[in-house]
Amino acid sequence: MFGKNFQRKYALTDQGVRNTKKGAFWTVIVNLVVMGGVSVLYLLMSGFMDTLTGGAPLPGAWLPIALTVLFAILSFVTHLQQYRATYGLVYGEVKATRLRLAERLRKLPLGYFGKRDLADLTETLMGDVNRMEHVWSHVLGYLYGAYISTAIIAICLLVYDWRLAIACLWGVPVAFGLLFGSRKFASRAAERTKAAGIRVSDGIQEALENVREIRATNQEARYLAGLDRKIDEHEKVMIRGELGTGVFVNAASVIMRLGVATTILVGAQSILAGRIDFMLLFLFLLVITRVYAPFDQSLALIAEMFVSQVSADRMNEIYETPTAEGAETFAPKGHDIVFDHVSFAYDQKDVLRDVSFTAREGEVTALVGPSGSGKSTCARLAARLWDVSKGSIRVGGVDISTIDPEVLLRDYSMVFQDVVLFDDTVMENIRLGRRGASDEEVRAAARAANCEEFVRRLPMGYDTPIGENGARLSGGERQRISIARALLKDAPIVLLDEATASLDVENETKVQEALSRLLAGKTVLVIAHRMRTVEAADKIVVLAEGKVAEQGSPAELMAKRGLFYHMVELQRQSAGWKLG
Ligand code: ADP
């Protein structure tokens, strides 16, 4: 009952499973104590009835009083234990789960974070855990405890009188059957509500991000109307979902209660037939109202439990994504990067097939090829942002899949198109390259990266905040900041993605100068877009549809008159054409 499946289904930690067991145990005890109280009531009543009908002496008052006090105390103690075991312990579970998720996230391949929407991840860490918390504390222990205690009580009733017992309890399995049948509906409704909610927040975010463009183009009314529609849609989906589950839950509750009616019917008949006496019917009626109580509590929340499956699935997805781990030391001999028969697929989609090439230390190796041919993927694999599916990538003879990504990345500088800048000063943004670098070192890197001239124009020089993600900087300036970072880091391997973003000629020259300082003496793997870079490279790897089509020095490839030659010719013609 509380095995691996249970743990996975409710995304519990090991401790969480133990706590739930405790909660269920105390729920069973509470329910049995309540039943004990009911039996005492029954005994007293039948004693009283005997006095009324048979003239037996009236039992003394001390016994009922003593029993009442005893059960009050028992009831208090067991409820307290139940409370501790369900609500109290579960708060630790929330903390443990967040830590478990965070620890897992830390070890996931970095590429994972490019694939998943970060807002979505935050939502899992905070929102999904909160939703599960409610299920852990308010539902699981009670529900499973109720299953067990109802089974025990059902057996006792069956032994007493099986006809009456069936009349009492038939509603319970039917009600649960109905609920579990509605489960698909509930989780589909939950998914729909969630998707509509995400559409609303995306819409709001988009509107905020593009507020300038929207105003400038007088699109406010149109935009707001669109947002209005999304909000209405969200509301509608949510109401529909809640109404639907509400109908099922209430129907289940009513069906369970029909048991009272059937018990009275069957009981009355049995009394008439002389099979049982009135007191036994009275006992059954007392018992069944108590049987429903623990279910009622969880029934109201069972819809939530179904809905929570979406949250649990999302948490499980994180738990079950393979992590990237490895040795804490990385001692390569030199920094040649060797792709050795590498194949790779994102999810199911094959992107690289049997790619082999070597990028030598001190040389610039340019990856060229049509868009979608797998150039960026090669660069990502070279830094172990993802792990290869087949073959291996070695740096200085060491297979990088055996090295902890955090350690590995100390030897890499990455200058990619999407420079991430933080809302901090220019100084701190560059210092990110190497923590602990002195101001003077930061300035030296900035000078070498040709940042100095634009930094001087900023109102507070290096201490100017640059706005969220560098809002106050131009594309070329942002790039130079990221080059300065890389220069400061001075790692032996540089992965470079040349921006296709249009830089003006002056900017481009400055960026090129900065780059040539950065690249000297390093192992450089560049995703090349500019002819100038390609012609100056020591080696060119031409990718086409995820395979290496050609490789060699620019001169060799030109002489070969293959794919590369044609690409160069095409570029020349179009450039010439433009000039003309
Ligand atoms: P290039 O850099 O040459 O333009 P990429 O390496 O970016 O090529 O992409 C190669 C192929 O892999 C493309 O078909 C692209 O759609 C796919 N791809 C790239 N990144 C991802 C990703 N994170 N998830 C799934 N598919 C991806």
State phi, psi for 566 to the nearest 5 degrees. -65, -40
Which atom of ligand 1 is found nearest the CA of 114? 23
User: Among 38-42, 296-300, 445-449, whose mean pLDDT is lowest?
Assistant: 296-300
Cα(416) to centroid(ligand 1), Å: 15
Strand partners, 466: none
For atom 20 of ligand 1, which residue has the closest CA?
377
For atom 27 of ligand 1, which residue has the closest CA?
346
pLDDT at 578: 42
Reported as a single tens digit per residue, the pLDDT across 283-294 is: 888 888 877 777
Cα(178) to centroid(ligand 1), Å: 46
Confidence of residue 35 (pLDDT cuts 50, 70, 90): confident
- Residue 503 reports pLDDT greater than 70: no
| Between 258 and 473, residue with greater pLDDT | 258
Residue of 112, 321, 346 to test ligand 1 pocket, by largest number of atoms within 8 Å of CB = 346
Looking at the chain, the whole-number percentage of residues with pLDDT higher than 90 is: 22
The span from the CA of 74 to the CA of 577, in Å, is 93
- CA dihedral (158, 163, 164, 169) in degrees, to 10, reads 70
Confidence of residue 579 (pLDDT cuts 50, 70, 90): very low
Cα(280) to centroid(ligand 1), Å: 74
Of 468, 496, 471, 461, the C-alpha closest to 482 is 496
Cα(555) to centroid(ligand 1), Å: 29
Residue 441 tokens, joined: 């070192």
Confidence of residue 576 (pLDDT cuts 50, 70, 90): low
Placement of tokens 């067990």 in the chain? 148
Determine the Cα angle at 338 with ends 333 and 344, to 5°: 135
Cα(372) to centroid(ligand 1), Å: 6
Pairing verdict, β 337-346 and 349-359: antiparallel
Placement of tokens 């172990």 in the chain? 384
For atom 21 of ligand 1, which residue has the closest CA?
346
Cβ neighbours of residue 148 closer than 8 Å, sequence gap 6 or more: 24, 27, 28
pLDDT at 375: 92
Placement of tokens 């781990």 in the chain? 325
Which atom of ligand 1 is found nearest the CA of 367? 3
Reported as a single tens digit per residue, the pLDDT across 71-104 is: 889 999 999 988 888 887 777 888 888 888 888 8
Which atom of ligand 1 is found nearest the CA of 374? 6
Cα(273) to centroid(ligand 1), Å: 80
The span from the CA of 329 to the CA of 334, in Å, is 15
The span from the CA of 181 to the CA of 27, in Å, is 26
Cα(343) to centroid(ligand 1), Å: 13
pLDDT at 156: 87
Which atom of ligand 1 is found nearest the CA of 111? 23
Confidence of residue 504 (pLDDT cuts 50, 70, 90): low
Cβ neighbours of residue 517 closer than 8 Å, sequence gap 6 or more: 448, 449, 487
Determine the Cα angle at 227 with ends 226 and 230, to 5°: 90
Reported as a single tens digit per residue, the pLDDT across 378-437 is: 999 999 988 899 999 999 999 999 999 889 999 999 887 667 788 888 899 899 888 888
Cα(378) to centroid(ligand 1), Å: 10
- Residue 500 reports pLDDT greater than 60: no
Which atom of ligand 1 is found nearest the CA of 369? 3
Cα(351) to centroid(ligand 1), Å: 7
Which atom of ligand 1 is found nearest the CA of 371? 4
Q: Residue 72: exposed, middle, or buried by beta-carbon count in 10 A (0-12, 13-18, 19+)?
A: exposed
Ordered strands of the 390-395 beta sheet:
349-359, 337-346, 390-395, 398-399
Q: Residue 284: exposed, middle, or buried by beta-carbon count in 10 A (0-12, 13-18, 19+)?
A: buried
**Mean of the per-residue pLDDT values of the chain:** 84
Strand partners, 465: 425
Residue of 118, 377, 525 to test ligand 1 pocket, by largest number of atoms within 8 Å of CB = 377
Reported as a single tens digit per residue, the pLDDT across 363-374 is: 999 999 888 899
Pairing verdict, β 390-395 and 398-399: antiparallel
The span from the CA of 83 to the CA of 27, in Å, is 9
End-to-end CA gap in the chain: 78
Strand partners, 392: 340
pLDDT at 317: 86
Identify the DSSP state of 409: G
For atom 18 of ligand 1, which residue has the closest CA?
346
Reported as a single tens digit per residue, the pLDDT across 45-65 is: 877 777 777 766 666 778 778
Q: Residue 545: exposed, middle, or buried by beta-carbon count in 10 A (0-12, 13-18, 19+)?
A: middle
For atom 14 of ligand 1, which residue has the closest CA?
372
Confidence of residue 512 (pLDDT cuts 50, 70, 90): confident
For atom 15 of ligand 1, which residue has the closest CA?
372
Which atom of ligand 1 is found nearest the CA of 378? 6
Helices and strands, number each (H, E), in the chain: 24, 10
pLDDT at 575: 61
- Residue 355 reports pLDDT greater than 90: yes
Which atom of ligand 1 is found nearest the CA of 527? 2
Residue of 348, 349, 387, 541 to test ligand 1 pocket, by largest number of atoms within 8 Å of CB = 349
Which atom of ligand 1 is found nearest the CA of 380? 6
For atom 12 of ligand 1, which residue has the closest CA?
351
Residues having CB within 6 Å of any atom of ligand 1:
114-115, 346, 349, 351, 369, 371-377
For atom 23 of ligand 1, which residue has the closest CA?
115
